[in-house]
Structure 1
Amino acid sequence: MKKYIAVLLITMIQACSTAENAWERVMILGSAEANDPVLAQVESLEKKGLVKDVNVLESFPVQIWLTASEETIESLKAMPRKSLNDQTYRSQ
């Protein structure tokens, strides 16, 4: 019985470490909007546990370093965002 428990524990540890290795650390560029929807989505995903180790750099647009699964990263990259080129500047 003890051998079965030991095997079960080892299997569970390997499964957890494999799932952890599937996560990557990447930089996601935010949007050049006043209320950045990309940053808001990252904060929402972090609350749900789908994103971790979030670091937001004070740049414009923000650079968001995070760790997440490939699926989550791809969904964040696919979000529409405004770039600085999309902004209209008018002299006064």
Structure 2
Amino acid sequence: MMRNMIAIALLITMQACSASDSWERVMIRGSAEANDPVLKQVREFEKTGQVKDVTVLESFPVQIWLTASKDTIEALQKIPRKTATDQ
């Protein structure tokens, strides 16, 4: 019984490590809009566990450092943005 529990715990740990290995730490630039859609989406992804280690720098537009999968990063980069000159 104990041997089976150890084996299961080891398997779960190995799967968690392999899943997070494909994640990377990147900086995503936000939008110059008042209700930043990029930051909003990052917060939604954070709630669902699709991003982690989120750090928002006080700049304009915001710079958001996060760790996520390549697919999630690509989805965030595709969000339309306004720049300060678009205002």
TM interval, shorter chain, is: 0.7 to 0.9
Structure-2 separation of matches of 1:39 and 1:83: 14
Deviation sequence 1:52-84 (CA, Å, 0-9, x none):
111000000000000111100000000001012
Deviation sequence 1:4-40 (CA, Å, 0-9, x none):
x466554433222110111111000000001101001
Whether 1:54 aligns to 2:42 is no
Structure-2 separation of matches of 1:49 and 1:2: 31
Q: TM-score, normalised by structure 2?
A: 0.86
Structure-1 separation of matches of 2:28 and 2:18: 24
Query: How do 1:6-21 residues align onto structure 2 when only pairs under 5 Å count?
Result: 9-21=9-21
Corresponding residue pairs, total: 86
Q: TM-score, normalised by structure 1?
A: 0.82
Q: Which has the larger radius of gyration?
A: 1
- Matched residue type, 2:71: E
- Tell me, which stretches of 5 or more residues in structure 2 are unaligned? none
Q: Percent identity?
A: 58
Give the secondary structure class of the aligned counterpart of 1:72. Answer: helix
Residue of structure 2 equivalent to 1:39: 39
RMSD across aligned positions (CA): 1.7
Give the secondary structure class of the aligned counterpart of 1:56. Answer: strand
